[in-house]
């Protein structure tokens, strides 16, 4: 495995670095105080627009829809350089990382022309309307219903955990159009206008105090048939496109998340009876485990990059990174906050301890979003290690005959 850039990649990296230094100057250090949601959205839109105008949005997308027609390695190099800054990008990770690739793969030319360029420029924000109160890991059990009414479909039901629905213009929506078909075969996917009559978005307040995701209720919402993605009954196939992109998008360690270096700093600053906590064997053990996990993830991701640079697609082994990253983040933050004892609760804004608190709270969500630890372990067991499969109910039973658990 060669970790070095080719001369062409090195030239692109230098060009990106120079552009970021000139254009992201205000984001080279962390913000002095956290942005509120409105400021985050406004800054995200301005940054996405700037990237679009400079040719750094949609790097791998065809030029015809506003992209650059470059390779995944160009995208990765831009992402690596961008992630050294503190520019706001999270508003678009679901839209550009999952929804728009799905529209591009399964949408008609008219839908692609209407939606892709405005998503790349950041003008329109997207959300993913998949999970429901009784369908998360078992996504094919969704119950939101779409019924055909002439040239439109009428949607009724509820979604939950929809990230940024309260700031989105459009969403991709998976619905059940045939309750008498087996559960994977009665689904159909649509684009939905989040401002359409009958769409009600209710933000959920999280334990961190933020409200990043929502419940979304649909009451007699009319969706034009021309906004359907894929054939009627093919929604599972369309959803798999989104989920495949999700696995690639959520794998790595979140940008600037505290790592073993911060654990060393926190331990160094804490005096125990005889010496700094850094001298304690259990603390040193924890630092070493965090370091080993971080390096393992880095090398696993390098392997994926290496595959991409050879033109291959990374496979199910990508799931390893998220399982390790999320748990390591949570364990490490818990260890540091435990060490700090009561100071761990009352950390000052912007301090290392406060970053660890945020990391502790956020990593709990990371262990669930985009596939829970248990589901990812099943994938690793079955598809990477070749172990026997999990027990699954027969796939051919009509959905309306499946016995509730």
Ligand X SMILES: Cc1cc2nc3c(=O)[nH]c(=O)nc-3n(C[C@H](O)[C@H](O)[C@H](O)COP(=O)(O)OP(=O)(O)OC[C@H]3O[C@@H](n4cnc5c(N)ncnc54)[C@H](O)[C@@H]3O)c2cc1C
Between 216 and 340, CB nearer to ligand X:
216
378 lines the binding site for ligand X (CB under 6 A): yes
Catalytic site includes residue 246: yes
Pick the closest to residue 68 from 32, 110, 15, 107 (CA basis). 15
Please answer whether residues 168 and 147 qualify as being in contact, where contact means their C-beta atoms are separated by less than 8 angstroms: no
Q: In this chain, which residue has its C-beta nearest to ligand X?
A: 136
Between 147 and 374, CB nearer to ligand X:
374
What's the closest the beta carbon of residue 213 comes to ligand X, in angstroms? 5
What's the closest the beta carbon of residue 127 comes to ligand X, in angstroms? 6
Interface of this chain with ligand X, residues 125 to 164, rule: CB under 6 A: 127-128, 130-131, 136-137, 161-163
Between 170 and 213, CB nearer to ligand X:
213
Interface of this chain with ligand X, residues 385 to 404, rule: CB under 6 A: 390
360 lines the binding site for ligand X (CB under 6 A): no
User: 379-394 burial, b for 16+ CB within 10 Å, e for fewer?
Assistant: bbeeeeeeeeeeeeee
**How far is residue 335's CA from residue 314's CA, in Å, rounded to a whole number?**
33
Between 289 and 378, CB nearer to ligand X:
378
Quick note: the x/- pattern for ligand X over 88-127, rule CB under 6 A, is: ------x--------------------------------x
Applying CB under 6 A, the span of 24-32, 182-190, 228-236, 366-374 interacting with ligand X comes to 366-374
242 lines the binding site for ligand X (CB under 6 A): no
368 lines the binding site for ligand X (CB under 6 A): yes
Please answer whether residues 90 and 120 qualify as being in contact, where contact means their C-beta atoms are separated by less than 8 angstroms: no
Between 85 and 242, CB nearer to ligand X:
242
Q: DSSP string spanning 58-115?
A: STTS-GGGT-----HHHHHHHHHHHTTS----GGGHHIIIIIHHHHHHHS-HHHHHHH
What's the closest the beta carbon of residue 199 comes to ligand X, in angstroms? 15
**How far is residue 151's CA from residue 30's CA, in Å, rounded to a whole number?**
50
Between 240 and 346, CB nearer to ligand X:
240
Interface of this chain with ligand X, residues 203 to 232, rule: CB under 6 A: 213
Pick the closest to residue 199 from 174, 182, 220, 178 (CA basis). 220
Active-site residue, from 246, 341, 374, 403: 246
Between 343 and 375, CB nearer to ligand X:
375
Interface of this chain with ligand X, residues 46 to 85, rule: CB under 6 A: none
**How far is residue 228's CA from residue 223's CA, in Å, rounded to a whole number?**
8
Contacts of 333 (CB under 8 A, 6+ apart): 258, 356, 357, 359, 360, 363
Q: Considering CB under 6 A, how many residues would be counted as binding ligand X?
A: 19
DSSP 3-state assignment of 203?
Answer: strand
> 37: exposed, middle or buried (C-beta count within 10 Å: 0-12, 13-18, 19+)?
middle
Tell me which of 91, 248, 340, 369 binds ligand X, using CB under 6 A: 369
Please answer whether residues 213 and 161 qualify as being in contact, where contact means their C-beta atoms are separated by less than 8 angstroms: yes
What's the closest the beta carbon of residue 234 comes to ligand X, in angstroms? 19
What's the closest the beta carbon of residue 307 comes to ligand X, in angstroms? 26
Q: Which residues pair with 4 in a beta bridge?
A: none
Q: Would you name the residues annotated as active-site residues?
A: 246
Which residues are near ligand X by CB under 6 A? 94, 127-128, 130-131, 136-137, 161-163, 213, 365, 368-369, 372, 374-375, 378, 390
């Amino acid at each position: 495995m060669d970790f070095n850039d080719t001369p062409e990649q090195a030239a692109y990296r230098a060009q990106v670095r120079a552009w970021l230094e000139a254009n992201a100057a205000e984001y080279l250090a962390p913000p002095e105080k956290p942005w509120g949601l409105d400021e985050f959205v406004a800054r995200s839109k301005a940054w996405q627009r700037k990237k679009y105008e400079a040719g750094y949005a949609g790097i791998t997308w065809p030029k015809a829809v506003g992209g650059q027609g470059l390779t995944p390695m160009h995208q990765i190099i831009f992402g690596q350089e961008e992630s050294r800054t503190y520019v706001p990008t999270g508003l678009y990770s679901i839209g550009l990382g999952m929804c728009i690739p799905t529209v591009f793969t399964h949408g008609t030319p008219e839908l692609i022309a209407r939606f892709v360029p405005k998503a790349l420029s950041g003008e329109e924000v997207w959300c993913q309307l998949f999970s429901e109160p009784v369908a998360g890991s078992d996504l094919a059990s969704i119950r939101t219903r779409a019924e055909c009414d002439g040239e439109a479909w009428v949607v009724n039901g509820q979604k939950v955990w929809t990230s940024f629905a309260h700031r989105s213009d459009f969403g991709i929506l998976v619905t059940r159009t045939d309750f008498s078909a087996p559960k994977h075969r009665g689904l159909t996917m649509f684009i939905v206008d989040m401002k359409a009559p009958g769409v009600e978005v209710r933000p959920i307040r999280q334990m961190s105090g933020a409200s990043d995701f929502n419940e979304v209720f649909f009451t007699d919402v009319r969706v034009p048939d021309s906004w359907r993605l894929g054939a009627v009954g093919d929604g599972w196939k369309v959803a798999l496109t989104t989920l495949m992109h999700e696995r690639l998008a959520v794998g790595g360690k979140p940008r600037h998340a505290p790592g073993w270096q911060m654990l060393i700093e926190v331990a160094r600053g804490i005096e125990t009876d005889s010496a700094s906590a850094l001298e304690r064997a259990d603390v040193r053990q924890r630092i070493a485990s965090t370091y080993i996990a971080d390096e393992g993830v880095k090398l696993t991701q390098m392997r994926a990059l290496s595959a991409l640079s050879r033109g291959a697609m990374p496979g199910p082994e990508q799931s390893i990174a998220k399982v390790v990253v999320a748990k390591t983040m949570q364990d490490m933050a818990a260890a540091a906050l435990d060490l700090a004892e009561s100071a761990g609760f009352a950390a000052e804004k912007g301090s290392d301890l406060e970053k660890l608190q945020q990391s502790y709270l956020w990593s709990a969500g990371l262990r669930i979003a985009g596939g829970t630890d248990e589901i990812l372990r099943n994938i690793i067991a079955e598809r990477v290690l070749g172990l026997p499969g999990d027990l699954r109910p027969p796939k051919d039973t009509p959905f309306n005959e499946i016995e509730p658990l």
